[in-house]
Amino acid sequence: MKDKPKKRKEPVLEIIGLIDNPKWKKLIPCICNDQQDFKNCRNCRYQNCEDSLPRKPYEISVGVGTKNKHRVLVTKITIVRGSDEDIIAWRGESS
Instruction: Tell me if residue 61 falls in helix, strand or coil.
Output: strand
Taking only the tens place, the pLDDT of each residue in 27-59 is 999 888 767 666 778 888 899 889 999 999 999
- pLDDT score at 57: 93
81 CB-near residues (< 8 Å, 6+ apart) = 17, 19, 22, 87, 88
Of 65 and 84, the one with more pLDDT: 84
Measured CA distances, 53 to 5, 30, 38, 50 (Å): 34, 20, 23, 6
33: alpha, beta or left? (left if phi > 0; alpha if psi -120 to 50)? left
- pLDDT score at 54: 92
How large a percentage of the chain has pLDDT more than 70? Answer: 89
